[in-house]
Protein backbone atom coordinates (compact mmCIF):
# COMPACT_ATOMS: atom_id res chain seq x y z
CA UNK A 1 0.00 0.00 0.00
CA UNK A 2 1.29 3.47 -0.81
CA UNK A 3 1.24 5.25 2.53
CA UNK A 4 0.45 8.60 0.94
CA UNK A 5 -2.92 7.32 -0.18
CA UNK A 6 -3.91 6.51 3.41
CA UNK A 7 -5.10 10.02 3.63
CA UNK A 8 -4.03 12.64 6.08
CA UNK A 9 -5.77 15.10 3.82
CA UNK A 10 -8.92 16.77 5.15
CA UNK A 11 -12.12 15.85 3.38
CA UNK A 12 -14.17 18.17 1.24
CA UNK A 13 -14.12 19.38 -2.34
CA UNK A 14 -14.52 22.49 -4.40
CA UNK A 15 -17.83 23.24 -6.06
CA UNK A 16 -16.86 22.71 -9.71
CA UNK A 17 -17.39 20.28 -12.56
CA UNK A 18 -15.68 16.87 -12.50
CA UNK A 19 -12.68 17.77 -14.69
CA UNK A 20 -12.05 21.13 -13.00
CA UNK A 21 -12.62 19.60 -9.57
CA UNK A 22 -9.98 16.99 -10.32
CA UNK A 23 -7.45 19.66 -11.28
CA UNK A 24 -8.34 21.74 -8.23
CA UNK A 25 -7.82 18.68 -6.03
CA UNK A 26 -4.43 18.00 -7.61
CA UNK A 27 -3.30 21.58 -6.95
CA UNK A 28 -4.73 21.47 -3.44
CA UNK A 29 -2.79 18.29 -2.67
CA UNK A 30 0.45 19.81 -4.00
CA UNK A 31 0.04 22.93 -1.86
CA UNK A 32 -1.09 20.89 1.14
CA UNK A 33 1.95 18.62 0.84
CA UNK A 34 4.30 21.56 0.43
CA UNK A 35 2.98 23.06 3.66
CA UNK A 36 2.69 20.05 5.95
CA UNK A 37 6.00 18.53 4.80
CA UNK A 38 7.84 21.82 5.37
CA UNK A 39 8.74 22.62 1.77
CA UNK A 40 7.03 25.95 2.49
CA UNK A 41 7.94 27.53 5.80
CA UNK A 42 5.41 29.26 8.07
CA UNK A 43 5.09 32.84 6.93
CA UNK A 44 6.13 32.08 3.34
CA UNK A 45 4.25 34.23 0.83
CA UNK A 46 2.01 32.51 -1.73
CA UNK A 47 1.46 35.06 -4.54
CA UNK A 48 -1.50 34.19 -6.71
CA UNK A 49 0.32 35.11 -9.92
CA UNK A 50 3.34 32.95 -9.09
CA UNK A 51 1.14 30.01 -8.13
CA UNK A 52 -1.00 30.41 -11.25
CA UNK A 53 2.16 30.33 -13.38
CA UNK A 54 3.54 27.31 -11.50
CA UNK A 55 0.39 25.27 -12.11
CA UNK A 56 -0.59 26.74 -15.46
CA UNK A 57 -4.06 27.89 -14.43
CA UNK A 58 -5.86 31.18 -13.82
CA UNK A 59 -5.59 33.21 -10.64
CA UNK A 60 -9.29 32.52 -10.10
CA UNK A 61 -8.57 28.78 -9.92
CA UNK A 62 -5.71 29.34 -7.49
CA UNK A 63 -7.88 31.58 -5.34
CA UNK A 64 -10.41 28.77 -4.79
CA UNK A 65 -7.68 26.42 -3.57
CA UNK A 66 -6.23 29.08 -1.28
CA UNK A 67 -9.63 29.70 0.25
CA UNK A 68 -9.95 26.00 1.03
CA UNK A 69 -6.53 25.94 2.71
CA UNK A 70 -7.42 29.07 4.65
CA UNK A 71 -10.60 27.39 5.90
CA UNK A 72 -8.41 24.55 7.18
CA UNK A 73 -6.15 27.16 8.85
CA UNK A 74 -3.07 26.09 6.94
CA UNK A 75 -2.68 29.48 5.27
CA UNK A 76 -3.71 33.02 6.14
CA UNK A 77 -5.45 35.41 3.74
CA UNK A 78 -5.14 39.12 4.45
CA UNK A 79 -6.48 42.10 2.45
CA UNK A 80 -3.76 43.78 0.39
CA UNK A 81 -1.22 41.18 1.53
CA UNK A 82 -2.46 38.02 -0.13
CA UNK A 83 -1.80 34.51 1.13
CA UNK A 84 0.94 33.30 3.46
CA UNK A 85 1.56 29.97 5.13
CA UNK A 86 -0.01 30.11 8.58
CA UNK A 87 2.20 30.93 11.55
CA UNK A 88 0.60 29.45 14.68
CA UNK A 89 1.18 31.51 17.79
CA UNK A 90 2.57 29.85 20.90
CA UNK A 91 -0.93 29.78 22.39
CA UNK A 92 -2.36 28.21 19.23
CA UNK A 93 0.42 25.63 19.22
CA UNK A 94 -0.32 24.60 22.79
CA UNK A 95 -4.04 24.47 22.02
CA UNK A 96 -3.37 22.09 19.11
CA UNK A 97 -1.46 19.72 21.39
CA UNK A 98 -4.18 19.96 24.05
CA UNK A 99 -6.85 19.14 21.46
CA UNK A 100 -4.84 16.16 20.22
CA UNK A 101 -4.50 14.77 23.74
CA UNK A 102 -8.25 15.03 24.25
CA UNK A 103 -9.12 13.45 20.90
CA UNK A 104 -6.51 10.69 20.73
CA UNK A 105 -6.68 9.59 24.36
CA UNK A 106 -10.47 9.50 24.34
CA UNK A 107 -10.52 7.56 21.06
CA UNK A 108 -8.21 4.89 22.47
CA UNK A 109 -10.63 4.20 25.31
CA UNK A 110 -13.37 3.65 22.69
CA UNK A 111 -11.53 0.83 20.93
CA UNK A 112 -12.65 -1.74 23.49
CA UNK A 113 -10.79 -4.45 25.35
CA UNK A 114 -10.56 -6.86 22.45
CA UNK A 115 -7.26 -6.53 20.55
CA UNK A 116 -7.57 -4.90 17.11
CA UNK A 117 -7.51 -7.16 14.04
CA UNK A 118 -4.13 -8.61 13.19
CA UNK A 119 -4.23 -6.88 9.79
CA UNK A 120 -4.62 -3.48 11.47
CA UNK A 121 -1.71 -4.14 13.82
CA UNK A 122 0.43 -5.32 10.91
CA UNK A 123 -0.31 -2.09 9.04
CA UNK A 124 0.82 -0.07 12.06
CA UNK A 125 4.05 -2.08 12.16
CA UNK A 126 4.66 -1.43 8.46
CA UNK A 127 4.18 2.30 8.97
CA UNK A 128 6.65 2.28 11.88
CA UNK A 129 9.17 0.36 9.75
CA UNK A 130 8.79 2.87 6.90
CA UNK A 131 9.15 5.77 9.35
CA UNK A 132 12.34 4.23 10.75
CA UNK A 133 13.71 3.82 7.24
CA UNK A 134 12.93 7.48 6.44
CA UNK A 135 14.70 8.60 9.61
CA UNK A 136 17.73 6.45 8.74
CA UNK A 137 17.87 8.06 5.28
CA UNK A 138 17.63 11.50 6.82
CA UNK A 139 14.30 12.14 5.09
CA UNK A 140 12.76 14.34 7.76
CA UNK A 141 9.72 15.26 5.68
CA UNK A 142 8.78 11.65 4.99
CA UNK A 143 9.35 10.73 8.64
CA UNK A 144 7.00 13.49 9.77
CA UNK A 145 4.37 12.37 7.26
CA UNK A 146 4.59 8.74 8.43
CA UNK A 147 4.47 9.73 12.09
CA UNK A 148 1.22 11.61 11.46
CA UNK A 149 -0.13 8.68 9.45
CA UNK A 150 0.62 6.32 12.34
CA UNK A 151 -1.44 8.45 14.71
CA UNK A 152 -4.30 8.64 12.23
CA UNK A 153 -4.33 4.88 11.72
CA UNK A 154 -4.35 4.30 15.48
CA UNK A 155 -7.35 6.56 15.91
CA UNK A 156 -9.11 4.87 12.99
CA UNK A 157 -9.32 1.74 15.17
CA UNK A 158 -12.03 3.54 17.15
CA UNK A 159 -14.17 3.55 13.96
CA UNK A 160 -15.34 7.13 14.47
CA UNK A 161 -15.20 9.11 11.23
CA UNK A 162 -15.81 12.60 12.72
CA UNK A 163 -12.94 12.08 15.17
CA UNK A 164 -10.70 10.84 12.38
CA UNK A 165 -11.51 13.86 10.21
CA UNK A 166 -10.86 16.24 13.10
CA UNK A 167 -7.54 14.58 13.93
CA UNK A 168 -6.50 14.88 10.28
CA UNK A 169 -6.80 18.65 10.60
CA UNK A 170 -4.96 18.66 13.93
CA UNK A 171 -2.12 16.56 12.50
CA UNK A 172 -1.77 19.05 9.64
CA UNK A 173 -1.62 21.97 12.05
CA UNK A 174 0.86 20.09 14.24
CA UNK A 175 3.18 19.98 11.24
CA UNK A 176 3.04 23.77 11.06
CA UNK A 177 3.76 23.99 14.77
CA UNK A 178 6.81 21.74 14.38
CA UNK A 179 7.99 23.73 11.36
CA UNK A 180 7.94 26.89 13.50
CA UNK A 181 9.03 25.63 16.89
CA UNK A 182 10.28 22.09 16.44
CA UNK A 183 13.60 20.68 17.57
CA UNK A 184 14.92 17.20 16.60
CA UNK A 185 12.98 15.81 19.59
CA UNK A 186 9.68 17.17 18.29
CA UNK A 187 10.27 16.59 14.58
CA UNK A 188 9.48 12.87 14.61
CA UNK A 189 8.24 10.13 16.89
CA UNK A 190 10.60 7.54 18.29
CA UNK A 191 10.22 4.09 16.76
CA UNK A 192 10.51 2.32 20.12
CA UNK A 193 7.78 4.53 21.53
CA UNK A 194 5.43 3.68 18.67
CA UNK A 195 6.19 0.00 19.04
CA UNK A 196 5.23 0.24 22.73
CA UNK A 197 1.78 1.48 21.73
CA UNK A 198 1.32 -1.38 19.27
CA UNK A 199 2.17 -3.84 22.05
CA UNK A 200 -0.42 -2.26 24.37
CA UNK A 201 -3.06 -2.39 21.64
CA UNK A 202 -2.24 -6.03 20.87
CA UNK A 203 -2.74 -6.82 24.56
CA UNK A 204 -6.11 -5.06 24.59
CA UNK A 205 -4.95 -2.63 27.31
CA UNK A 206 -6.61 0.50 25.98
CA UNK A 207 -6.44 2.29 29.34
CA UNK A 208 -2.64 1.96 29.35
CA UNK A 209 -2.61 2.93 25.66
CA UNK A 210 -4.48 6.15 26.48
CA UNK A 211 -1.98 6.98 29.23
CA UNK A 212 0.85 6.24 26.79
CA UNK A 213 -0.65 8.60 24.21
CA UNK A 214 -1.02 11.43 26.73
CA UNK A 215 2.63 11.09 27.76
CA UNK A 216 3.80 10.74 24.18
CA UNK A 217 2.08 13.92 22.97
CA UNK A 218 3.37 15.83 25.98
CA UNK A 219 6.90 14.71 25.09
CA UNK A 220 6.52 16.04 21.54
CA UNK A 221 5.17 19.35 22.84
CA UNK A 222 8.03 19.59 25.34
CA UNK A 223 10.44 19.14 22.44
CA UNK A 224 9.26 22.40 20.87
CA UNK A 225 11.23 25.58 21.46
CA UNK A 226 8.58 28.25 21.46
CA UNK A 227 10.47 31.11 19.81
CA UNK A 228 9.44 32.58 16.48
CA UNK A 229 11.68 32.90 13.41
CA UNK A 230 11.58 35.00 10.25
CA UNK A 231 10.13 33.42 7.05
CA UNK A 232 12.60 32.57 4.28
CA UNK A 233 12.34 33.22 0.56
CA UNK A 234 10.87 30.33 -1.43
CA UNK A 235 11.16 29.04 -5.01
CA UNK A 236 7.61 27.86 -5.75
CA UNK A 237 8.36 26.24 -9.13
CA UNK A 238 11.22 24.18 -7.69
CA UNK A 239 9.17 23.05 -4.68
CA UNK A 240 6.19 21.79 -6.67
CA UNK A 241 8.43 20.13 -9.26
CA UNK A 242 10.18 18.20 -6.47
CA UNK A 243 6.87 17.14 -4.92
CA UNK A 244 5.53 15.91 -8.26
CA UNK A 245 8.50 13.61 -8.94
CA UNK A 246 9.23 12.39 -5.41
CA UNK A 247 8.57 8.67 -4.75
CA UNK A 248 6.76 7.47 -1.65
CA UNK A 249 7.59 4.68 0.75
CA UNK A 250 5.58 1.50 0.32
CA UNK A 251 4.20 -0.35 3.38
Q: Mind listing the pLDDT tens digit for each residue in 190-199?
A: 556 789 999 9
Per-residue model confidence as pLDDT tens digits over 52-100: 999 999 998 999 999 999 999 999 999 888 999 999 999 999 999 999 9
- Residues 206-227 have a mean pLDDT of 91
Q: Where does 90-222 sit in CATH, by number?
A: 1.20.120.530
Least confident of 110-114, 132-136, 211-215: 110-114
The predicted pLDDT at position 186 comes to: 53
Q: What pLDDT score does 247 carry?
A: 67
The Cα-based distances of 135 to 26, 144, 149, 212, 245 in angstroms read 27, 9, 15, 22, 20
Asked if residue 233 has pLDDT above 90, the reply is: no
Query: What distance, in Å, lies between the first and last C-alpha atoms of the chain?
Result: 5
Quote the pLDDT of residue 199.
94
* Domain span(s) for CATH 1.20.120.530 in the chain: 90-222
Is-above-0.95 flag for pTM? no
Least confident of 7-11, 19-23, 150-154, 155-159: 7-11
pLDDT at 242: 78
**For residue 164, what pLDDT band results from cuts at 50, 70 and 90?**
very high
Distance of CA 33 to the CA centre of its chain: 8
Q: What is the model's pLDDT at position 79? A: 86
Residue ranges, comma separated, of all CATH 1.10.10.10 domains in the chain are: 3-86+231-245
d(CA 31, CA 236): 10
Q: What is the CATH number of domain 3-86+231-245?
A: 1.10.10.10
- More confident position, 226 or 28: 28
Amino acid sequence: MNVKTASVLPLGGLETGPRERGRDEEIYRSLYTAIVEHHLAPGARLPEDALAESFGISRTGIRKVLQRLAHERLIELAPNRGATVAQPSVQEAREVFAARRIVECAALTEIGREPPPVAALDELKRIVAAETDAQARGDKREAIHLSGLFHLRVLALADNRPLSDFLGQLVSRTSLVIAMYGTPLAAGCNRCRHEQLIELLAAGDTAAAARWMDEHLREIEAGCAFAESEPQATDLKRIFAEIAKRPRSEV
